[in-house]
């Protein structure tokens, strides 16, 4: 198998970092009585990019929604096992959801800016958390847009509607909105699947820059993309019983070149799903 793997000092340092910021421990998930994920355990290492891969319906979005407790909005949904974040099991009922979502931001498949100005979109989170000072909000807006590699394109249009931006710009705006809260972890659910190849590369470059200061967990269907940008990869797969299990987890430069499991190899070369 030949995938272009970027190699850089950043990548090497990410691989040397052995401290997980998140740990899934015997994690299972149910929608009503239906079990959809069974007994998944894997670490998410700090300041690295972990790619979640697997065919449609194997629970990738559910895994992301579990990490920032978004699934709680669905009364039918139930998680079992542990997700340890900074040493604490966040599935514990007492965990403060609002605080958690500040530390763990999520970017969705379809860019979802709300119908307001670019500025209002970016500072939405900080305002919710009580930041009122205009100068402070301006600084947050500029810093977040710069981090999301969008500042130069929009700095003269901050008061214009976010909905006038292109799809790729809207997705970077959603990333800026997440960064405005200074999260520890950024979850991205197929963030480039609705974008053209050029915008996709911009998002990939951006993630590559961001991993120096953030931990990134990204769902992607694109194996080339996963191989290009990720340090670690987790492969989920649901068999005939339709219950997803973790088939393989490892360093991307090992899994994409020499997967341990036959099923992993079949998936990454395109023989499955
Ligand atoms: N709200 C829901 N209610 C019931 N079943 C759901 C719901 N959301 C997802 N599922 C089921 O859970 C499984 C995993 O879905 P999902 O996490 O969206 O997978 P992926 O993101 O890998 O495509 C699928 O079988 C899907 O049909
Ligand atoms: Mg999904």
Q: Does a structural domain hold residue 213?
A: yes
2 is a domain residue = no
Domain that holds residue 226: 9-268
Residue 185 forms part of a structural domain: yes
CA distance 140 to 133: 11
Is 5's pLDDT higher than 60? no
Residue 4: which pLDDT band, with cuts at 50, 70 and 90? very low
Residue 1 falls inside a structural domain: no
CB 54 within 8 A of CB 236: yes
Please report which ligand is nearest the Cα atom of 242: 1
Structure tokens at 267: 């998936």
CA of 59 to the centre of ligand 2 (A): 7
Which residue, by CA, sits nearest to atom 16 of ligand 1?
Answer: 59
> How many domains are contained in the chain?
1
pLDDT at 15 over 80: no
Q: How far is CA 109 from the centre of its chain?
A: 10
Mean pLDDT of 204-208: 93
Q: Is the pLDDT of residue 241 over 90?
A: yes
CA of 110 to the centre of ligand 2 (A): 11
Does residue 57 line the site of ligand 1, with CB under 6 A?
yes
H/E element holding 51? strand 49-53
Task: Indicate which ligand has the atom closest to the C-alpha of 235.
Answer: 1
Flag whether 257 is in a domain: yes
Question: Is there a domain that residue 153 lies in?
Answer: yes
Which CATH number is 160's domain given? 3.40.50.300
Cα–Cα nearest to 188, from 4, 78, 49, 17: 49
On whether residue 162 sits in a domain, the answer given is yes
Is residue 4 domain-resident?
no
Tell me if residue 162 falls in helix, strand or coil: helix
């Amino acid at each position: 198998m030949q995938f272009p793997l970027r190699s850089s000092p950043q990548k090497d340092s990410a691989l040397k970092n052995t401290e997980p910021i998140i740990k899934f421990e015997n994690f299972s998930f149910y929608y009503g009585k239906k079990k959809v994920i069974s007994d998944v355990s894997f670490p998410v290492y700090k300041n690295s990019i972990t790619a979640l891969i697997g065919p449609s319906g194997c629970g990738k979005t559910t895994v992301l929604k579990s990490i920032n407790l978004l699934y709680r909005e669905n009364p039918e949904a139930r998680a079992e096992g542990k997700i340890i974040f900074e040493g604490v099991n966040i599935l514990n009922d007492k965990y403060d959801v609002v605080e958690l979502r500040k530390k763990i931001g999520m970017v969705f498949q379809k860019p979802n800016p709300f119908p307001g100005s670019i500025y209002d979109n970016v500072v939405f989170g900080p305002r919710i958390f009580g930041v009122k000072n205009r100068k402070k909000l301006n600084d947050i807006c500029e810093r977040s847009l710069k981090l999301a590699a969008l500042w130069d394109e929009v700095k003269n249009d901050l008061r214009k509607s976010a909905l006038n931006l292109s799809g790729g710009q809207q997705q970077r705006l959603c990333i800026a909105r997440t960064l405005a809260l200074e999260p520890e972890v950024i979850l991205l659910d197929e963030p480039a699947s609705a974008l053209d190849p050029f915008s996709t590369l911009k998002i990939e470059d951006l993630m590559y820059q961001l991993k120096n200061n953030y931990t990134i967990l990204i769902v992607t269907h694109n194996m080339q993309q996963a191989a290009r940008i990720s340090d670690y990869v987790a492969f989920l797969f649901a068999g005939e019983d339709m219950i997803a299990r973790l088939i393989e987890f490892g360093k991307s430069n090992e899994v994409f070149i020499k997967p341990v499991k036959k099923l992993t190899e079949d998936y990454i070369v395109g023989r499955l799903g």
